[in-house]
A and B are shown apart, each in its own frame.
Chain A
Amino acid sequence: MSVTTEQVESRVVETLASFGPDASQITRSATFEELDIDSLDLVELAQVVEEDYGVVLKGEDMKELKTVGDAIDMIVERAG
């Protein structure tokens, strides 16, 4: 089953919004730092991604991610 970028994008935005930031602030170029998304939030995002798309994101993968777009691109690439 292949997933579209749009599907991943909406799932990522929905998940990040559940951690606090307003959905309108969560754009592709927004950084996790600006959004006040910390390492525990990223661990939970990785868990959602694993459950929904079977993509395993490790601690070191997450460290490289700076923006919301980075995360979406990595998930789409690995799910494809």
Chain B
Amino acid sequence: MPETETETVSARAGGARARGRTGCALVTGASRGIGAAVARALARDGWAVGVNYRSGADAAAGVVSAIEDEGGRALAVAGDVVDPATPDRLFATLEAEFEHPVLALVNNAGVSDDDLTPSMSDAAWDAVIDTDLSAAFRMMRRALRPMMRARCGRIVNVASVVGLRANPGQPNYAAAKAGLIALTKNTAVEVARRGVTVNAVAPGLIETDMTAQLDGDLLARVPARRAGTPEEVAACVRFLVSEEAGYVTGSVLSVDGGLAA
């Protein structure tokens, strides 16, 4: 990248502007897969980005260096989103490091643990609901404080096509993602007049570690006849976080090659 361009990006990277305010961004579960692609896309838009991860310290450090190589700013922040103490800790760390409030939150961290309803264990049910739904709620609750005060903010929740249409064998995941979509809409309406938008993306079959074990059956149901890439999901998140998307709130953007249509 030419030096002048690098300088421009670094100058903006102290905190990108959302409706004239400077802030930083936090992406949960950003050490790999969709979250890593989202973190890189937001950094390219000038956001200083918190790259949250649970166990993949090396992978998260890799995402941070990739962002820095492109002239952006990022910080890896460890934290299990299921722990109720995590939101406060992550926000305080980022506010101190970037000297701006978190004005963009992407709830991406997610897990699946598939089984049919009649044989599903309580542990599998709880783990998926806790990570994919309850943790996102607690992150949003914390994020809304500075966003409401700043009169601007962007929250994007990474849901799933499974939150919109049934997928036998994923009752816990489907319930969590459908719940996340309902939470997105409800909160969007509560805070719309404060200039804060809350949206969801609903990816279909995306090539990541999460889908590495899947067989070809699902692929045959995708009208586009191919899996999507993390970058294609990231492009949608980047749009919803952008200043241009200020009038988009409470919406669910499908990124699924036509699967939910």
Residues of A whose CB lies within 8 Å of any CB of B are: 40, 44, 47-48
Q: Is the CB of B191 within 8 A of A44?
A: no
6 closest A-B pairs (Cβ-Cβ)? Answer: A44-B148, A47-B145, A40-B190, A40-B191, A44-B149, A47-B149
A selection of 11 A-B contacts at a CB cut-off of 8 Å is: A40-B148, A40-B190, A40-B191, A40-B193, A40-B194, A44-B148, A44-B149, A47-B145, A47-B148, A47-B149, A48-B149
In angstroms, Cα B190 to Cα A47, docked, is 16
Give the distance to chain A from B191, nearest Cβ to Cβ, in Å: 7
Q: Which residue of B lies closest to A39 (CB)?
A: B190
Q: Which residue of A lies closest to B193 (CB)?
A: A40
Which residues between 182 and 233 of chain B lie within 8 Å of chain A, taking CB atoms?
A: 190-191, 193-194
Q: Is the interface of B mostly helix, strand, loop or mixed?
A: helix
Residues of B whose CB lies within 8 Å of any CB of A are: 145, 148-149, 190-191, 193-194
Q: Chain A residues near B148 (CB, 8 Å)?
A: 40, 44, 47
Q: Which residue of A lies closest to B145 (CB)?
A: A47
In angstroms, Cα B142 to Cα A47, docked, is 11
Q: Chain A residues near B190 (CB, 8 Å)?
A: 40
Instruction: Give the number of residue pairs across the A-B interface with Cβ within 8 Å.
Output: 11
Q: Chain B residues near A40 (CB, 8 Å)?
A: 148, 190-191, 193-194
In angstroms, Cα B146 to Cα A47, docked, is 10
Q: Which residue of A lies closest to B191 (CB)?
A: A40
Q: Which residue of A lies closest to B190 (CB)?
A: A40
Q: Which residue of B lies closest to A47 (CB)?
A: B145
In angstroms, Cα B145 to Cα A78, docked, is 22
In angstroms, Cα B148 to Cα A40, docked, is 10
Q: Which residue of A lies closest to B148 (CB)?
A: A44
Q: Which residue of A lies closest to B192 (CB)?
A: A40
Q: Chain B residues near A48 (CB, 8 Å)?
A: 149
Give the distance to chain B from A51, nearest Cβ to Cβ, in Å: 9
8 more A-B residue pairs beyond the given contacts A40-B190, A44-B148, A48-B149, with a C-beta to C-beta distance below 8 A: A40-B148, A40-B191, A40-B193, A40-B194, A44-B149, A47-B145, A47-B148, A47-B149
In angstroms, Cα B139 to Cα A37, docked, is 26
Q: Chain A residues near B191 (CB, 8 Å)?
A: 40
In angstroms, Cα B194 to Cα A40, docked, is 10
Q: Chain A residues near B149 (CB, 8 Å)?
A: 44, 47-48
In angstroms, Cα B114 to Cα A62, docked, is 43
In angstroms, Cα B191 to Cα A48, docked, is 17
In angstroms, Cα B148 to Cα A47, docked, is 10
Give the distance to chain A from B235, nearest Cβ to Cβ, in Å: 32
Q: Chain B residues near A47 (CB, 8 Å)?
A: 145, 148-149
Give the distance to chain A from B140, nearest Cβ to Cβ, in Å: 14
Give the distance to chain B from A57, nearest Cβ to Cβ, in Å: 14
Q: Which residue of B lies closest to A48 (CB)?
A: B149
